[in-house]
Amino acid sequence: MINMKKISKNVYEIEKEGKMNVPGRLYASEKILKDIQKDKTIEQIKNVAMLPGIIGYSSAMPDAHFGYGFPIGGVAAFDLDKGIVSPGGVGFDINCGIRVLKTNLKLKDLKGKEKELLDSLNRKIPSGVGRGSPFQIKGKKEFKEIVENGIEYLVEKGYGVEDDYLNVDEEGCLKNADFSKVSERALKRGIGQLGTLGAGNHFLEVQVVDEVFDKKVAKVFGLEKGQILIMIHCGSRGFGHQVASDYIKLMDEKYGAKNLPDRQLVNAPIKSKLGKDYLGAMSCAANFAFANRHLIGVWVKEVFEGLFSKFKVDTLYDVCHNVAKVEKYKVDDNLIDVCVHRKGATRSFGPGRKEVPLVYRKVGQPVLIPGSMGTASYILVGTKKAEELTFGSTAHGAGRVMSRMAAIRNIDGKKVKKRLEREGIMVRSGSSKSLAEEAPEVYKDVEDVVGVVHDLGLSKKVVRLKPVLVVKG
Q: How far apart are CA 304 and CA 320, in angstroms?
A: 25
Residue 430 lies in a domain: no
Answer yes or no: is 91 within a domain. Answer: no
Which residue in 65, 341, 396, 454 is the catalytic one? 396
| CA atoms in the 13 A half-sphere facing the CB of 239 | 34
In a domain, 209, yes or no: yes
The 10s digit of each residue's pLDDT in 167-198 is 999 999 999 999 999 999 999 999 999 999 98
Type of residue found at 187: L
Name the region of 341 (left: φ>0; alpha: ψ -120 to 50; beta: rest).
beta
Average pLDDT value for residue range 37-42: 95
| Domains identified in the chain, total number | 1
At 195, the amino acid letter reads: G
* Cβ atoms of 265 and 80 closer than 8 Å: no
Average pLDDT over residues 142-146: 97
Q: What is the pLDDT of residue 413?
A: 84
Has 396 been annotated as catalytic?
Answer: yes
Q: Where are the beta strands (DSSP E) in 80-226?
A: 84-85, 97-106, 203-212
**pLDDT at residue 129 tops 70:** no
| pLDDT of 433 | 82
With respect to residue 30, please indicate whether it lies within any of the assigned structural domains.
yes
Inform me whether the pLDDT recorded for 376 exceeds 90. yes
- Whether residue 131 is predicted with pLDDT greater than 80 in this model: the reply is no
> Average per-residue pLDDT in the chain?
94
Q: Is residue 364 part of a domain?
A: yes
Averaged pLDDT for residues 228-235: 97
Say whether 15 sits in a helix, a strand or coil: coil
> What gap in Å lies between CA 211 and CA 465, rounded to an integer?
7
Question: How does residue 446 score in pLDDT terms, banded at 50, 70 and 90?
Answer: very high
Q: Distance between alpha carbon 427 and the CA centroid of its chain, in Å?
A: 22
Phi, psi of 375 (to 5 degrees): -115, 175
Mean pLDDT to the nearest integer, 450-454: 98
Task: Give the domain range for residue 246.
Answer: 4-80+96-401+443-472
* Average pLDDT over every residue of 235-253: 97
DSSP reduced 3-state for 201: coil
Share of the chain above pLDDT 70, in %: 99
Asked if the model's pLDDT at residue 435 lies above 90, the reply is no
Residue 136, pLDDT > 80, answer: yes
**Contact criterion met (CB below 8 Å) for 186 and 243:** yes
* pLDDT surpasses 90 at 16: yes
Global pTM reads 0.96
What is the arithmetic mean of pLDDT over 250-269?
Answer: 96
Mean pLDDT within 60-74: 97
| CA quadruple 403, 409, 410, 411: dihedral, nearest 10 | 90
Helix, strand, coil tally for the chain in percent (to 5): 40, 25, 35
Residue 27 inside a domain? The answer is: yes
In-domain check, residue 120: yes
**Which CATH number is 112's domain given?**
3.90.1860.10
Burial class (CB in 10 A: 0-12, 13-18, 19+), 321: buried
- Per-residue pLDDT band for 424 (boundaries 50, 70, 90) equals confident
CA dist., res. 242 & res. 155, Å (int)? 26
Any idea how long the chain is? Answer: 473
Q: 407 vs 336, which has greater pLDDT?
A: 336
Longest dimension (CA), the chain: 65
Segment 315-353, tens digit of pLDDT = 999 999 999 999 999 998 899 999 999 999 999 999 999
pLDDT band at 128 (very low <50, low <70, confident <90, very high): low
Amino acid at 213: F
- Whether 408 is covered by a domain: the verdict is no
Average pLDDT over residues 366-384: 94
What pLDDT is recorded for position 436? 84
Q: Strands, DSSP E only, in 332-459?
A: 334-343, 345-347, 366-369, 377-381, 393-395, 426-428
Please, which pLDDT band fits residue 66 given cuts at 50, 70 and 90?
Answer: very high
